[in-house]
Chains A and B, each alone.
Chain A
Amino acid sequence: MRAYLSDRMGAALLMAPLLLFLVLAYAWPFLGVVKWSFTLPTPGLGQYEALLTDDLVQSVFIRTLRIAAVVTVVSVAAAYAITVVWVRGTPVQRVIAEFCILVPFWISVLTRAFGWVALLSNRGLINTWLQAIGFISEPLALVRNEFGVIVGMTHFLIPFAVFPLASSMRSLDDRVLLAARGLGSSRMRTFWSVFVPMTRSGIIGAALIVFVFSLGFFVTPAILGGGRSVMVAELIYLRIFQSPDWGLGAAISVVLVLFVGALMALLFRYVRPKQLI
């Protein structure tokens, strides 16, 4: 018991500097943001009323949720396939999958966004090639719209979905899969009715992580959306730095943080934090 207590004390001491940093750098300033949302330009609930009535704010929120939902579905599905290869493939397949998962982490989000512009724009690689082989006559609108934003965000978020999925796939008992096959189930059927349901916690964890990350995306939608597919984070930026309408920007921030906080609470009911790394 004594050893256990001192272990806990030790852990608390080790975490203290980080906690202090988070309080000073994030929590304290954020209280200021909360204060703005109730006081600027005039004290009261005016900013929150505006949130409910302002068509632009509402359309941005709806677009953000829509993009986040699509990105979540696509990222988790793609990550699932990659993770199956990474966890259960042959040694060579594993190395290749690991490479594909880790390399994106070494490239900054800005570089990747511009990389996608180079690929997807009207005179980008994809459109030029498709025109060259005569598949299309007019360039396809692949960027400066929601499609471009979804592509860029999905690419960024797939690796984050891989870890919770891998953790759930690794803890799966192989004998259960053998049992399914021994009982007469084909490989396909075993995958869909045994393997996938048994990785449910990983799927939920991956989906929530990707969804939460998507809600706060700024750089990728700003570049690949070309100002036409504005998401919440960019809207906050515009309200604070361009309008300037600090009160409304602050109110949007507060709503976003509360929403993300609720999703995180939900996330940790399904997955232990250890599974996410």
Chain B
Amino acid sequence: MQQPGRAAEIKAIGIGKSFGSFRALDNLTLDIGRGEFLTLLGPSGSGKTTFLMILAGFVQPTEGRLFSDGVDITERPAEQRAAGMVFQGYALFPHMSVEANIAFPLKVRKKSAADIKRRVGEMIERVGLKGHEKKLPAQLSGGQQQRVALARALVFEPGVLLLDEPFSALDKGLRGQMQAEMKRLHQETGTTFVFVTHDQSEALALSSRVAIFNHGKLLQVGAPDEVYDRPDNRFVAEFLGEINMLPLKGVRPADNGSTGLCEDRAVSMRCKAETVRGDAILAIRPEYMSISGEAAAGENGIAATATNSTYLGAATRLDLTTRQGAKVTVSVPNEIAAAALSKGNSVWLTWPAEKGFLLPHGGQ
């Protein structure tokens, strides 16, 4: 966070924060790599925003240390950390023009007038605000205000850019556009981005890694496909998208993974039954399940009856009930859904061994 123009590497060790008796953040240890795009994901009150505020220096942690490029910055005030920050609702200076807003961080750093003019001009060009230089924030659209906020936070080449739910006020179309733009800015600047959101699809689409929070605890950190396909626990599995859960019995390690009994049929998983033994939950994303007339020998599959279908355009969402009463949802091609429904009786649900993963029985 101190050398301009160079992405920062951040290390949080055992960070905790209490507000009175409320534990907002508990024993968080996390490394944020140089130039990485890390998303902090979680429901509201999960501690993700508190952690962002601690990174910015607006909130002092109750315990733990924070390092930037190896230097302890736990006690350093916000204005000396100078992380670029984009707030929810943008927090632009309403009395300053677009130009003056973007020039502000350079002015407080006492840059020369020529330098400020050049860098502000470049930044305005880069975020596509040419022709709006003299306008006040109130005269801009939401998307344009968002660009000003991004430009203002990036113009002084901070080591890290912190973004607090920056797209929550934008409509869906604009949101997609701004996400693409932010990804481009990340690549162009090479700066470390730390992005807070509660929208899991946004997190998966943008980040190099996703950190999932709940109840003040960091539950899992990993690349988007890693956390999506191999969540560590039930909360992460459910928060990242729709998921089917089937009770599993007699789970034990096997060659190449593990096996167990699902509704009296042997199924196999690629993942290892390290922590999970005996009763467990088999979790499979809806899009990884397919429907067939009969499961081949050795193939993972259970019998189920289609009960309801929802046409989604590109695919159909099919709700099924297994013989033992478990509810399953799959997303399948439209004609297959129609066929399954018309039969009115049993179909087979199958899935590849590497797409099912184990979660502990009950609890989180």
Contacts and interface: CB of A to CB of B under 8 A. Distances in A.
B228 to A, nearest CB: 32
A194 B79 CA distance: 14
A180 interface: yes
B152 A183 contact: yes
A184 B79 contact: yes
A269 B249 CA distance: 76
Interface residues of B, number: 28
| Chain A interface helix/strand/loop/mixed | helix
- Interface size range on A against B: 10 to 19
Contact of A182 (B82, B92, B94, B109): B82
A13 B94 CA distance: 39
A197 interface: yes
Interface string A64-79: 0000000000000000
Contact of A185 (B79, B88, B91, B95): B79
B78 A181 contact: yes
Contact of A178 (B87, B96, B153): B87
B91 A179 contact: yes
B91 to A, nearest CB: 4
B93 A176 contact: yes
A55 interface: no
Interface in B93-138: 93-96, 104-105, 108-109
Contacts of A173: 89, 91
For A181, A184, A186, the residue with the greatest tally of chain B CB atoms inside 10 Å of its CB is A184
A183 B91 contact: no
Interface in A181-224: 181-187, 189, 193-194, 197-198, 200
B83 interface: yes
Contacts of B152: 183
8 contacts: A173-B91, A176-B94, A179-B92, A179-B93, A183-B152, A186-B108, A197-B96, A198-B95
Interface of A: 173, 175-176, 178-187, 189, 193-194, 197-198, 200
Q: Which 7 A-B pairs have the closest CB atoms?
A: A175-B91, A183-B105, A179-B91, A182-B85, A184-B82, A185-B108, A197-B95
